[in-house]
Structure 1
Amino acid sequence: MTGVPTGWRNVLPHLDYDLPDDLPPQSSLSGGVKVNLPLELLRQSRSRAGTVEIPGEVLDQYRRYRPTSLWHARDFGEAVGARVPIYVKYEGANISGSHKLNTALAQAYYYRRAGVQEVVTGTGAGQWGTAIAAACAVFGLRCTVFMVGDSLRRKPYRGTIMRLLGATVHSSPSGLTEVAAGAREGASGNSLALAIGEAVEYAATRDRTAFVIGSGETYSILHQTVIGTEAIEQLAARHAEVDAVIGCVGAGSNFGGIAMPFFADAAEGAGPAPLLLAAESSTTPKLTRGVYAYDRTDATGFGPREAMYTVGSEFAIPPAHAAGLRFHGTAKLLSAMRHRDQIAATAVGQVEAMDAARLFAVHENVVPAPESGHALAAAARVATSGVSDREAHHVARRGILVCLSGHGYLDLAAYEEHLTERLRDESPDDDLIKLATTALSAVPIEGGHLRVP
């Protein structure tokens, strides 16, 4: 039995380049942001230390649910015709039902130390909102959550859990903010960028209040590396080898969390890096069909513009059950690695994802979140016919590790639509992506041109 890691694994010292600097925001708030990012989180985003120590209070909380389970999903592998073993690292056995609690606890700890009394956030599928609500309850902070309205209507009990934990929950668009008032009719209830924008604006108007974000920042990916660090030890204890590591990607924290320790190990001479494969939703195909450019992280433009793979913050994302994957961009760390072909990507439709998730539920007795179904579908591809990405075709030869990022017990509406064959895949037209990205500023790499996958 492996233990809980005492440090977060940092990939930054193993990159032979610096992440692109952020650009100034396009908009400003008249009152300014009352509380800035805690200095320790800022340091973690720039640290060149190979390991960052986990504070004792955070580690005590981790020990309540970590280490998480890793097992050989034999029956699922047989069901999909896998030619190699598929191992699953399950992050759903905590109160949030997902990996999000790993960074929520860390962030609540650091914000409390910085003197913050209330945190405000936006959430898509609700796992992050639940996680930060739980972390605030642990560390004595007030919590306000703006949840994507379409998602909250599909799974209202996510809101119930957040309120049970003491949080105030608003359906986005809420009617409480200027950014919601200016949202386009029709697309607004499906936008995580809008929910985040509402949270940014709302937090800026309140004293001793801070906006927090759960996925795209470099420090949040750092906190998630407990996943991959544990997995490396657990695989070694089984004498198991994998040559593919897969996670679903919204902004990228669970994928980064399981993949970055493997990248760091390889950089330190532990052998060749496995295929690091990001499985995204075909409704929001930023890594496979987007551009590498500077874009806003939310609908307000109040925050800095970051270098990311994006389909455009103005892009009207089609409805889908995997709300956690429906963010227009990918974390700047993962985007920089993607730009240099250090990670691979594939897009999965929700029907294929739910097919894989249903098979996993039947054969492994865990109901995956729809988001996690995308990773399972990608694993089935890599274990059978393979996945093509850019100029390469990838098929696993030894084994596959999948991050099962959360459970789907509050996503049964998606399963009901799947069982009754009412699910449809909506893949955006190339012209719509081009329209949403044409005005973006190029990242000054490779002659300053937008790079299209």
Structure 2
Amino acid sequence: MGRGARRKFVGRPGCGRAFATAVAGGKTAGGNAATSRGNAEMTESTKYLLSEDRLPKAWYNLNADLPRSCPPPLHPGTGQPIGPDDLAPIFPMAVIAQEVTTERWIDIPEPVREVYRLWRPSPLIRARRLEKALGTPAKIYFKYEGVSPAGSHKPNTSVPQAFYNQQEGVKRLATETGAGQWGSSLAFAGSLFGLEVEVFMVKISYEQKPYRRALMETYGAKCIASPSPLTHAGRAILERDPNSNGSLGIAISEAVETAASRDDTKYALGSVLNHVCLHQTVIGEEA
């Protein structure tokens, strides 16, 4: 490199965009070939590993920006809108508050962020083959959530749910699982916050997916084939059909019954509800 030349680094470390050009007298050393090669390397980047400082400090609440409020869920017994008092037997108050709030930003507790750091931020990946298949000039990206300890996106909500329950003195969590992803995620989260976890797993999956069951048990959870003889709901199904393969609805009934019948136990759910959607916004906010 000649006198007065200097090396300049462009791009942000960790994002796959850093490249170097040698500048001498205001011109690129090596001519257009070096520049073209550097640009080609940038445009061909597929995976972007984001730094930990991209981890959000708050979840985004979609309810704040909806044009109108969503209709409240109805109580299955009365047909009336469900209120906080109806949810208190099975959910911690912090989760109930998140279910109904219209605040735009909800702070992520630092103990939850500490756990998130085990795998977050998740990789940002460009879907080049999808772009090509669609014939679109648009750049399409997705986040890969399989890097979590449970292998899915579901620890994004199981971790805060376990944290809020632990903070309110809950000792046990009951839940359901179909293929086993949610059960594995809650088992993982419960092990971090000292909670017992009881998982009612749809019987057909319990038998067909022994490794998911093994993962739950490795994290310390108790995994039960549903329908089971342990609950009124399970026994009623078994009386009608002793060979029932189970269903997610049956497993939910058993988990909710368990939570509602014990003072030391709450219920945790991995989909459907507002607070679950809230916790999953960490995926997009860090990108």
Shift of 1:61: 0.5
Corresponding position of 1:358? none
Q: Is 1:22 equivalent to 2:73 in the alignment?
A: yes
Shift of 1:34: 8.5
Shift of 1:14: 0.7
After superposition, the Cα gap between the structure-2 partners of 1:209 and 1:53, relative to the gap in structure 1 and judged at 3 Å, is: same
2:135 to 83, 90, 105: 83
Residues 33, 204 of structure 1: 8 Å contact kept? no
Distance in 2 of aligned mates of 1:157 and 1:76: 32
1:129 to 183, 189, 193: 183
Q: TM-score, normalised by structure 1?
A: 0.47
Corresponding position of 1:288? none
Q: What letter is aligned with 2:255?
A: A
Shift of 1:187: 9.3
Distance in 2 of aligned mates of 1:6 and 1:181: 45
Task: Report SS of the residue matched to 1:144.
Answer: strand
Corresponding position of 1:52? 106
- Structure 2 residue ranges without an equivalent (≥5): 1-49, 79-85
Q: Is 1:160 equivalent to 2:214 in the alignment?
A: yes
Corresponding position of 2:270? 214
Q: What letter is aligned with 1:143?
A: V
Residues 202, 246 of structure 2: 8 Å contact kept? yes
Residues 188, 194 of structure 1: 8 Å contact kept? no
Residues 149, 173 of structure 1: 8 Å contact kept? yes
Distance in 2 of aligned mates of 1:125 and 1:150: 9
Task: Report SS of the residue matched to 1:221.
Answer: helix
Corresponding position of 1:200? 256
Q: What does the per-residue CA deviation read over 1:176-219, in whole Å, with 9 as the maximum and x for residues that have no partner?
A: 22212222639952411111111111223333111111111111
Shift of 1:94: 1.3
Q: Is 1:141 equivalent to 2:192 in the alignment?
A: no
Distance in 1 of aligned mates of 2:284 and 2:241: 41
Shift of 1:146: 0.4
After superposition, the Cα gap between the structure-2 partners of 1:89 and 1:188, relative to the gap in structure 1 and judged at 3 Å, is: farther
Q: In the comparison of the two structures, how many residue pairs are matched?
A: 225
CA RMSD of aligned residues (A): 2.2
Residues 199, 211 of structure 1: 8 Å contact kept? yes
Shift of 1:71: 0.9
Residues 34, 209 of structure 1: 8 Å contact kept? no
Residues 34, 204 of structure 1: 8 Å contact kept? no
Corresponding position of 2:64? 13
Q: What letter is aligned with 2:222?
A: T
Task: Report SS of the residue matched to 2:286.
Answer: helix
Task: Report SS of the residue matched to 2:74.
Answer: coil
Percentage of identical aligned residues: 41
Corresponding position of 1:98? 152
Residues 34, 207 of structure 1: 8 Å contact kept? no
Shift of 1:73: 2.7
Distance in 1 of aligned mates of 2:90 and 2:112: 21
Distance in 2 of aligned mates of 1:15 and 1:205: 36
Shift of 1:154: 1.9
Shift of 1:48: 1.8
After superposition, the Cα gap between the structure-2 partners of 1:51 and 1:194, relative to the gap in structure 1 and judged at 3 Å, is: same
Residues 122, 196 of structure 1: 8 Å contact kept? yes
Task: Report SS of the residue matched to 1:182.
Answer: helix
Task: Report SS of the residue matched to 1:45.
Answer: helix
Q: Is 1:71 equivalent to 2:125 in the alignment?
A: yes
Task: Report SS of the residue matched to 2:245.
Answer: helix
Q: What does the per-residue CA deviation read over 1:82-106, in whole Å, with 9 as the maximum and x for residues that have no partner?
A: 3134422111111111010010000
Q: What does the per-residue CA deviation read over 1:262-295, in whole Å, with 9 as the maximum and x for residues that have no partner?
A: xxxxxxxxxxxxxxxxxxxxxxxxxxxxxxxxxx
Shift of 1:35: 4.0
Shift of 1:21: 2.5
Shift of 1:33: 8.9
Q: What does the per-residue CA deviation read over 1:305-355, in whole Å, with 9 as the maximum and x for residues that have no partner?
A: xxxxxxxxxxxxxxxxxxxxxxxxxxxxxxxxxxxxxxxxxxxxxxxxxxx
Residues 258, 265 of structure 2: 8 Å contact kept? no
Q: TM-score, normalised by structure 2?
A: 0.73
Q: Which moved more, 1:156-165 or 1:188-197?
A: 188-197
Distance in 1 of aligned mates of 2:88 and 2:280: 27
Distance in 2 of aligned mates of 1:19 and 1:76: 34
Distance in 2 of aligned mates of 1:66 and 1:34: 31
Task: Report SS of the residue matched to 2:125.
Answer: strand
Distance in 2 of aligned mates of 1:43 and 1:177: 29
- Structure 1 residue ranges without an equivalent (≥5): 232-453
Q: What letter is aligned with 1:212?
A: A
Q: What does the per-residue CA deviation read over 1:49-87, in whole Å, with 9 as the maximum and x for residues that have no partner?
A: 111000000011011110001111324655xx2313442
Q: Specify the structure having the higher radius of gyration (Cα).
A: 2
Residues 90, 259 of structure 2: 8 Å contact kept? no
Distance in 2 of aligned mates of 1:35 and 1:137: 23
Corresponding position of 1:226? 282
Distance in 2 of aligned mates of 1:121 and 1:68: 26
Q: Is 1:189 equivalent to 2:245 in the alignment?
A: yes
